[in-house]
Structure 1
Amino acid sequence: MSMDKLKVGVVYGGKSGEHEVSLQTAFAVTNAFDYDKYELVPFYISKQGTWKKGAVMHAPFARIEDLKLESSAGGTQDALNALFARLYGGAEALDIMFPLLHGTFGEDGTIQGMFEMADMPYVGAGVLASAGGMDKVVMKKLFAQAGIEQCAFTYFNVTQWKQTEHEMIVQVEDQLGYPCFIKPANLGSSVGISKARNRDELKTAIEFALRYDTKVVIEEFVEAREVEVSVLGNDEPMASVPGEIVSSGEYYDYAAKYIDGQSQMLIPAPLEPEAADRIREAALQAFRAIEGNGISRADFFIRKSDGALLINEVNTMPGFTPYSMYPLLWRETGVSYAELLDRMIELGLERYNRKQALNYENGVQA
């Protein structure tokens, strides 16, 4: 092995409704890595939360199913030993972790916190940005504080729904009206999202969303174009060209994103230069609002009635499937898939090294 090779742990799967999306992302990413430059060590997390650690990869897996490491002898204890090896000088210590997890227990700050405790450099957003970018209610409050215009919304948790169902319905009807969109507060990839056109559909949609989370967000319907921008960087982030989604369905749901492949992506989006610049700047503003690091994708609506730009959300671990918007936008901007992976690792190491300069002594003798 060349001493110059970085040892990168790739972790994927997860105890999440986006488990399958994570496998697709991991398959694409591990196929794109330069194995002459990196040593990859796979870590698979099952839907039950158990871990498996595979051997060093010398070539990509041939099938997505191979990512589940069925023949691996390394279980949860071996995986955690490798993660924490930097603290005790273990030979299996990694140089950096590359989380390819979507949704809960992966994109919400939990695993990022574990990496921090293990003194492990990692790719992507930190604990704060991950948590804020995952919870749609917190995210929307951060956008509001930053002065970023967004759709009208309301929210409540499962206890409020059970105790005051009628009041919650009236609140939605008074504040938003129909149609409206119902979403789990802590889930991505459009999982659990429904459109309600009347009270019966609203109740059904809320119950459906509460299967995935204990809190729901309900947003007004906006007749709009859907535009996305990729962001890359730490303190001096860059924004890609914008891209536009033309959905194959009534809206851009899970099937449209990951299954049917029929939604159209317009890259770059057909926008006037001034409008494109405005959207790119808004994406950077949203990145800073959540204290972003590494990467994010900012999703916007351009309201058809007046051209107003409305932030929908930011995604701190956007998909990397073959037809995912994030890498395609960077390709159009002039950054290849392989260059993108290199840069993401550089940014993770840069952030880690910067934090190593911090002083944790308070001058008080114990």
Structure 2
Amino acid sequence: MKASVRIGVLFGGPSAEHEVSCASALGVARALADAGHRVVAIGVTRTGGFRLVPDAVLAGLRSGTGAGRAIDDRLTVTGPAVELRAGQRRGTAAVAALNARGAVHAELDVVFPVLHGPYGEDGVVQGVLESLDVPYVGCGILASAVGMDKVAMKRALRAEGIPITPQVSFDAETWRTVDDPEKLVLGLRRPLFVKPARMGSSIGISRVAEGDDLAAAVEQALRHDTVVLVEQGVTGRELECGVLGGWRPVASAVGEVRVAGGWFDYQQKYFGDADPMVVPAPLPDEVTERTRELSVRAFAAISGWGLARVDFLYEEATGDLYVNELNTMPGFTAHSMYPKVWAASGVSYREVVDRLVALAFARHAERPAGVRPGTAQ
């Protein structure tokens, strides 16, 4: 995009990924400012309230590099309490004061929800933005909800013939009433990965090897959700690929995550001293192309729009490639894979966010009039 627009960057939120979102938002806000756009930063508190970040905090954004140095280099949820409501012009949103007069601070042409995890990446905030009839970056309600829910995601991938690892799922009530926990994972070989169905950034995930306590891992997952997914572990390489686009999305270069301890946990993702990511991944050309092709197919399987990062497990010994999951609002920190794989594809961080804003406008423009608020007959 070339024309300057006023972009609301939503960040923070009630989820356990609050700090990750704040770090991602700094990079996005800097890149948008570098591209000449007017940035309005709106922090979401842990209880769901909105705060308008003061202009003074944003004044120096262009002096940044386009991405925070680490997770502790981030925007902060601060400022006066505000609300989002429909703007005076159709297709805009107003940032208004929470007082009797309700003075409007800014009108937004588009919203960039840099929110990770529940309430931000699962269709909730997307529903709010749809009701305001304002363009927004990223996947819509359906794709966000399916992408966030690992159980629903696996069902969508399986329905499209996309390879996934063996897995089972169960809810908290089933777990509390089963007489033998091992009955719930019959047929799966250890190691197992026990995950909350709706959480990201490896939060609440445990690796369960032979002799490990399955019950403790399930209880850990249940702290974050009422549904648990248990997957059979794969001894292989962790690959990641970015998808960018609308009706005809394209895939990026493929990256690889190389970590100690067997898997890429929260600590290594955001607080590790060494960069574990290798971009592009050293792979046979056939594997690289298969990864990119499966990434686009997986994106289509959940009806994605805008962006996603698709994570894979690759067994070199057998040549098997499995889609592990999709992340519909991947991290944008300096430690994040999504900007790195696109940079390796010749698309800069700034160009990525600029394209995403253009895609937000494109999707909004294509919405049938009958599904827009205030247009029903």
Following the alignment from structure 1 to structure 2, what is the Cα–Cα distance between the partners of residues 306 and 126? 36
**Structure 1 residues 235, 198: CA separation in 2 closer, same or farther (over 3 Å shift)?**
same
332-341 or 25-34, which deviates more: 25-34
Q: Tell me the equivalent position of 2:98.
A: none
CA deviations on 1:274-311 (whole Å, 9 max, x unpaired) are 22111100000000000000000111111133010111
Following the alignment from structure 2 to structure 1, what is the Cα–Cα distance between the partners of residues 301 and 179? 33
1:79 matched to 2:83: yes
Alignment of 1:60-209 (within 5 A): 60=61, 67-70=75-78, 72-73=79-80, 75=81, 78-81=82-85, 86=89, 92-164=106-178, 166=180, 168-172=181-185, 174-198=186-210, 201-209=213-221
Following the alignment from structure 1 to structure 2, what is the Cα–Cα distance between the partners of residues 66 and 319? 12
Q: How far apart are residue 11 of structure 1 and its match?
A: 0.4
8 Å Cα contact 2:93/2:134 also seen in 1? no
**Structure 1 residues 11, 274: CA separation in 2 closer, same or farther (over 3 Å shift)?**
same
1:259 corresponds, among 271, 274, 284, to: 271
SS class of match (2:313): strand
Q: Tell me the equivalent position of 2:48.
A: 49
Q: How far apart are residue 161 of structure 1 and its match?
A: 0.8
Following the alignment from structure 1 to structure 2, what is the Cα–Cα distance between the partners of residues 270 and 107? 31
Following the alignment from structure 1 to structure 2, what is the Cα–Cα distance between the partners of residues 268 and 4? 33
212-221 or 267-276, which deviates more: 267-276
8 Å Cα contact 1:247/1:263 also seen in 2? no
Following the alignment from structure 2 to structure 1, what is the Cα–Cα distance between the partners of residues 3 and 356? 18
**Structure 1 residues 85, 48: CA separation in 2 closer, same or farther (over 3 Å shift)?**
farther
CA deviations on 1:302-342 (whole Å, 9 max, x unpaired) are 11330101110011000011121100000000001111111
Q: Tell me the equivalent position of 1:333.
A: 345
Q: Which runs of 5+ in 1 are unaligned?
A: none
8 Å Cα contact 1:10/1:42 also seen in 2? yes
1:59 matched to 2:97: no
8 Å Cα contact 2:93/2:132 also seen in 1? no
8 Å Cα contact 2:22/2:74 also seen in 1? no
Count of residues paired in the alignment: 353
Q: Which runs of 5+ in 2 are unaligned?
A: 95-103
TM superposition score normalised by structure 1: 0.90
Paired AA for residue 198 in structure 2: N
Paired AA for residue 155 in structure 1: S
Q: How far apart are residue 160 of structure 1 and its match?
A: 1.0
8 Å Cα contact 2:23/2:73 also seen in 1? no
1:31 matched to 2:44: no
**Structure 1 residues 95, 322: CA separation in 2 closer, same or farther (over 3 Å shift)?**
same
Q: How far apart are residue 241 of structure 1 and its match?
A: 1.0
Q: How far apart are residue 86 of structure 1 and its match?
A: 4.7
**Structure 1 residues 146, 316: CA separation in 2 closer, same or farther (over 3 Å shift)?**
same
Following the alignment from structure 1 to structure 2, what is the Cα–Cα distance between the partners of residues 187 and 66? 21
Following the alignment from structure 1 to structure 2, what is the Cα–Cα distance between the partners of residues 198 and 225? 21
8 Å Cα contact 1:39/1:58 also seen in 2? no
7-16 or 157-166, which deviates more: 157-166
Identity of aligned residues (%): 39
Q: Tell me the equivalent position of 2:332.
A: 320
SS class of match (1:156): strand
Following the alignment from structure 2 to structure 1, what is the Cα–Cα distance between the partners of residues 336 and 93? 38
1:298 corresponds, among 304, 310, 331, to: 310
TM superposition score normalised by structure 2: 0.88
Structure ranking higher in helix proportion: 1
Following the alignment from structure 2 to structure 1, what is the Cα–Cα distance between the partners of residues 8 and 196? 30
SS class of match (2:332): coil
8 Å Cα contact 2:42/2:53 also seen in 1? yes
Paired AA for residue 330 in structure 1: W
8 Å Cα contact 2:239/2:254 also seen in 1? yes
SS class of match (2:75): helix
Following the alignment from structure 1 to structure 2, what is the Cα–Cα distance between the partners of residues 199 and 244? 30
CA deviations on 1:211-257 (whole Å, 9 max, x unpaired) are 01111100001101111110000000010011111113321111111
Following the alignment from structure 2 to structure 1, what is the Cα–Cα distance between the partners of residues 93 and 273? 46
1:280 matched to 2:320: no
Q: Tell me the equivalent position of 1:236.
A: 248
Following the alignment from structure 1 to structure 2, what is the Cα–Cα distance between the partners of residues 290 and 134? 10
8 Å Cα contact 1:155/1:215 also seen in 2? yes
Paired AA for residue 61 in structure 2: P
**Structure 1 residues 350, 220: CA separation in 2 closer, same or farther (over 3 Å shift)?**
same
The alignment's C-alpha RMSD in Å is 2.3
